[in-house]
Amino acid sequence: MKMLFFAFMLLLCLPAVPARKLRRDSQLIRGSVPHRRLTGHISYNFKSRRRTPRSDDDPGTMTPTDSNADDLPTCLLCVCLIGSVYCEEVSPVISSVPALPKESTYLYARFNKIRKINKKDFADTVTLKRIDLTGNLITEIEEEAFSKLSMLEELSLAENRLVKLPILPTKLSTFNANQNLLKTKGVKANIFKKLTMLANLFLADNLLDAVPNIPESVRILHLQNNNITNVTIDTFCKSDNNYYLRPSLSEVRLDGNPVVLSKYPDSFTCMKVLPVGRYR
C-alpha cells in the first residue's frame, strides 16, 4: 500500500515541473536572453555605438577672434550707399571720424562719441558735399580740418561742445552750430565774410554776446537763446548808406536774448521783416 501511495503522489507532481518551467521561460525572448539582461544589453550597445563628438564638432570649443571696432573697414562698421556713408549711432561706438571711401559725397555720423576733428580726417575726401556730425562730443576742430573741402555745401556741428569755430569752406550754403558752447571770442569777426553762398546760418543756444558779421546772402539767421545784449545800425544795415537794403534776409530770430530790440529801431530799416525777439 505504501508503494502504491508513493507512486500515486509521484504522478501528481510530474506535470507541475514543466508548468513552472514554461512560466519561467515565458519571460525569455528568442536567444534565451532574459528581459532585464536584454534591456541592459541594448542600452550598452546603443551607447557604445554613438559617435564620440570631436573637439572640432563641439561649438563650445570654437573661439572666434574678437573684432575691434577700430579695425573694421568703414563700410562694415557703417552703411555705404553710392557715395553716402551712414555712421549714425554706431555700435561699438566710434570716437573719431572713420576713414571714408575717396569718392564719398555725403557723411552722416550723428550721435556717436567723436571728440575731435583732425586736419587729416577729410584730407583725402575732397568730393564731400555734406557733413553731418550732430550729437557728438566734439570739443576741438583743427583750424584747417575743412580747408580742402572746396565742394562742401552743408555742414552741421550741432549739439556738440565747441567753444570756437575753425576756417569754413567758402561754398557753404548751410551751416549749423546750434547747441554748442560758442562765445564771441571763439567766432572770428570775419569768419563768415567769404561765404558768399551762405543762405542758412544757425547759431542758436550758444553763449554769444554779439551778432557776428552776416554775409548778404543769408536768408535765415537763428541766434536765439544766446547772451546778446545789443545791436547797432551796422549789425544788419549800413550806417553810411541810407538806401541800403537786405531783401534776402527773411527770417531773423533773436528771442531768448537779453537785448530789447525796441531800443534800436534804426537797426532794422534795411530789412523787410523785423527780427523775432524781445521788444519790451
Read off the CATH number of the domain in which 147 is found: 3.80.10.10
Residue 37 has pLDDT above 70, yes or no: no
Q: What is the pTM of this model?
A: 0.74
Q: Is residue 34 part of a domain?
A: no
- Mean pLDDT, to the nearest integer, of 250-273? 95
In a domain, 236, yes or no: no
Note whether 216 and 195 are within 8 A (CB).
no
pLDDT at 77: 87
Q: How many domains does one find in the chain?
A: 1
Quick check: is 147 in a domain? Answer: yes
Q: Which domain holds residue 142?
A: 86-228
- The 10s digit of each residue's pLDDT in 187-215 is 998 899 899 999 999 999 999 999 999 99
Domain assignment present for residue 2? The answer is: no
CA atoms within 13 A on the CB side of 1: 0
Residue 268: inside a domain, yes or no? Answer: no
Residue 149: partners with Cβ closer than 8 Å, 6 or more residues away? 122, 125, 126, 128, 131, 169
* Selection from 183, 125, 177 nearest residue 154 by Cα: 177
